[in-house]
A and B are shown apart, each in its own frame.
Chain A
Amino acid sequence: MEFGPHLMLASLEGAVIAAILSLTAMGLSIVFGVMRVVNVAHGEFFMLGAVLAWYVTSALGGHPALGFVAALLIVPVLVAAIAATADRLILKRINYDADRTIVGTIGILYIIQQTTLMTFGPDARPVEAPFNTRLSLPWFEFGENGFAMFWPWGLSTTSYKLFVIAAAVVILLGLWMVITRTKIGLVMRATQQDSEMAQAFGVPVGTVYSLVFGLGAGLAALGAVLVVPIQQAHYLMGHDPLLLSFIVVIIGGLGSLPGTIVAAILIGMSDGIISVFFSPTIAKIIATLLVAMVLVFRPQGLLGKTAP
């Protein structure tokens, strides 16, 4: 394929990755920012989202769009409830201590993974997209006959992938509205800045933490529901989203939500675009090193204010 169309295809693919990643990482970022704990089980909430989406769609049957919409509404709430329960039962009891939270959430990770393996099984299972038309894309070039349009071989995307990008933008805008314009958002921001002070002003910090933990997991699940018609639900799929979200949150700058978005777009897109120039594994090596180097020279992250 020629360079231009190849770059465009890689960017489109990168945008889909970035869209899902920004939702998942936003979930982790909120938890990280407000509660100051590393939730190692975050990827498992993503996986739960995908697996539950499979259950919902296959239980409903009928047109794929019906099941998909149902999953979009039910699954994030369900996962958020599970996460909030875990917060109440475990994290609250260990006072959100940083080290203990790591071990505790590794424990939660094992529990969720094994339970899924025993119920859902080891197979990767597809969920049908509500709509999925292949869209060939044109390319423009100045040739001998002036400006010409042609249809390069393989340059295409699907309507569903475009929908994922749009949906992520809408959800993130909605989230931004909630955080900046509502009372819940205000309470969250207050807790993030100084939880003791917030408590003194009558903010029920415990409840806020549970809500935030649930919201974080719900966002991951939402990303998973969106992605599951492209990828399949599988009990080990939480690994990559966890690592990537973790990276995105730190690169963006701890506690900076805009930073998270910027980093998600950067990392999602760069993964695609670097692959245009190098062989796949070399591209991965470069992309990985790049992340390390950004932090080496800017430890506070892209939009972080002070070193954590």
Chain B
Amino acid sequence: MSDGNFKSSKLSRRSTLLGLGASAGALATAGVLPGTARFAQAQSSAPIKIGFQKHATGIGAAYGRWYGATTDAAVKRINDNGGINGRPVEIVVEDDGTDPKRGAEVLEKFATQHECDIAFGTLFSHVVIGSAPRAGELKLPYFVVSEGHHVASGMLNRYTLQPGITDVKSQVQSMAPFVAGNLGKKVTMIYPDFAFGHDHRDFFSAAIEAQGGEVVAKIAIPPTETSFTRYFPNIPRETEVIYHVMVGPAVLTFVKELGEFFGPSRPEIFGFIDSLEAVNINSPGLEFLEGTYFWEGMPRHAQADQTSHDKAYRAAVGVDDRGASLSDGKDVSTFAHMFGCWETLNIIKAGMEASDYQGPADRAKLIEAVEAMTDLPESDDHPQGPKQFNGKTHQVFGQQYISKVTDGKLVRAHTASIEDGMYEDEVDYTAQSF
């Protein structure tokens, strides 16, 4: 919990001033950057306040801690480079307890108590869905990093956007060609028996059938389950591929028991890294994962062809080549998801600069500016890879990665293209009024 226990601003006056000075110098030498003029005419040097809804307690706390670390790193970088529109960024942290009721309360607090410019947050879908109606009513732009399909499905509102992480529908659908082509066509799915699992079930079933495969069994595990072996006999003998996705604190038990169940004769196994997020892949009992495949939002282990962006991102956040904390190699991050915080904050910066954001009166302009975004090339701002933002559905699309466990390391075996994850628009938020 070393970096998990901060409150309110992490920003020291000194670093802000240094950052501003450095950026002013850089801009002066560069001469004609559009920022120069704006920096000079920034009407206020008061910080831009971003309310950060954090899973500091509750079931999502393991994710929240790393979302916090990534957010701090991203904000530090933004401030070191001159802030946004010449103003420093200040993060206001509130714990949502991974609870939708508290999440909505915290959002109100950002809007009416802390007077934040925007809100930014969180992973668990129920917190996002519980909070989003309040964001719409309070007219507070709410940038979520949740990978749920709720934004693109049209359930939410014009003030809620997901520009930094792809959604589950896109992720799942883009996996089917690889699974059917390389692993097998008869798939047994094991997923948690709640909405997130049902999304996997429905989207993947459809996608694998389009590839000529079929789902031979669907095993939904009740939530809060802590032992799993008794469900595995429902896996049909004809299964060629196991598709698993689990979340929560019992994930390691789940994967271990899966290995113990099969012993030496396992089928191909394909899982979402959610089943092992924040867990060391070399934990005792996981040896059987050797040779199995994982979806990863962003490869946890640095690859042979590592980009400079990936390198810079790891260094800034403080994780090593195996995605673990630099200060404690056993402390594995939620690497496949937390990049979303970094990228979302950079989108916020770009959107605020494009709309010349000055204060809450410009919130609608900010949203329009983000809606106008399309291609987001791979860069230090977007280390996970190139992306396309869909302004109508408020959802970003990007590459997906499949890694194979090779000698205890996650080695990228396939990159699913942006197009593999595309689907028809289900909503046009730009048609809604502000």
Note whether A and B contact each other (Cβ less than 8 A).
Answer: yes
A300 within 8 A of B: no
Quick one: closest B residue to A118, CB to CB?
Answer: B1
Q: Interface code B214-258, partner A: CB below 8 Å = 1, 0 otherwise?
A: 000001111011110111111101000000000001111100000
Q: Please determine whether B263 and A231 come into contact, CB atoms closer than 8 angstroms.
A: no
Q: Give chain A interface residues in 232-254, CB to chain B under 8 Å.
A: 232, 234-237, 239-240
Nearest A residue (CB) for B193: A281
Determine the residue in chain A with the shortest Cβ distance to B58.
A236
B64 interface residue per 8 A CB criterion: yes
Contact yes or no, B233 A230, CB < 8 A? no
A279-B220 in contact (CB<8A): yes
Residue from A1, A118, A239 within 8 A of B5 (CB atoms):
A118
Contacting pair B230 A272 (CB below 8 A): yes
With a cutoff of 8 Å between Cβ atoms, the chain B residues found around residue A136 in the complex are: 263
Assuming the contacts A128-B284, A234-B249, A280-B231, asked whether A122 and B65 have C-beta atoms less than 8 A apart, the reply is yes
Judge whether B227 and A17 touch: CB under 8 Å: yes
Chain B residues with CB under 8 A of A132: 285
Q: Which A residues are in CB contact (< 8 Å) with B75?
A: none
Assess whether A126 is in contact with B230, with CB atoms less than 8 Å apart. no
Contact with A117, one of B57, B251, B263 (Cβ below 8 angstroms): B57
Question: In angstroms, how far is the closest chain A Cβ from the Cβ of B33?
Answer: 42
B214 to chain A, nearest CB (A): 19
Count A interface residues, CB 8 Å.
43
Q: How far is the CA of A128 from the CA of B5 in the complex (A)?
A: 29
Q: Tell me whether A88 is interfacial, beta carbon within 8 Å.
A: no
From B220, B224, B253, contact of A239 by CB (8 A):
B224
Nearest CB of B to A119, in Å: 7
Nearest residue, chain A, Cβ from B286: A126
For B, the interface residue count at a CB cutoff of 8 angstroms equals 43
In contact, A124 and B230 (Cβ under 8 angstroms):
no
From B229, B237, B284, A126 is in contact (CB under 8 Å) with B284
With both chains docked as a complex, state the minimum distance between the C-beta of A96 and any C-beta of chain B, in angstroms: 30
B1, B59, B331, most chain A CB atoms within 10 A: B1
Given A118-B1, A280-B222, do A16 and B260 touch, yes or no (CB 8 Å)?
Answer: no
Is B278 an interface position by the 8 A CB rule? yes
Q: Are A237 and B249 in contact (CB under 8 A)?
A: yes
Q: When each residue 254-287 of chain A gets 1 if its CB lies under 8 Å from chain B and 0 otherwise, what string results?
A: 0000000000000000001001100111001000
Of all chain A residues, which has the CB nearest B237?
A: A153
Give the complex CA separation of A280 and B230 in angstroms: 10
Q: Could you give, for residues 44-58 of chain B, a 1 whenever the CB lies within 8 Å of some chain A CB and a 0 otherwise?
A: 000000000000011
Interface centre among B5, B61, B233 (most CB of A within 10 A): B233
Chain A residues whose CB sits within 8 angstroms of the CB of B220 once the complex forms: 279-281
CB-CB < 8 A to B260: which residues of A?
134, 156, 158
Among the 9-residue stretches A5-13, A26-34, A199-207, the one with 4 or more Cβ atoms under 8 Å from chain B is A5-13
Residues of B within 8 A of A237 (CB): 226, 249
The minimal Cβ–Cβ distance linking A139 to chain B, given in whole angstroms, is 12
Q: 6 A-B pairs, CB-CB below 8 angstroms?
A: A1-B234, A1-B235, A9-B229, A117-B61, A124-B279, A281-B222
List residues of chain A with CB under 8 Å of any chain B CB.
1, 5-6, 9-10, 13-14, 16-17, 114, 117-119, 121-124, 126, 128-129, 132, 134, 136, 153-154, 156, 158, 230-232, 234-237, 239-240, 272, 275-276, 279-281, 284
For the complex of A and B, 10 pairs with smallest distance between CB atoms: A122-B61, A1-B233, A234-B249, A124-B249, A6-B233, A122-B62, A13-B230, A10-B230, A284-B222, A128-B284
7 further A-B contacts with Cβ under 8 Å, apart from A276-B233, A280-B225, A281-B222, are A1-B237, A13-B229, A16-B227, A114-B57, A119-B1, A154-B232, A275-B230
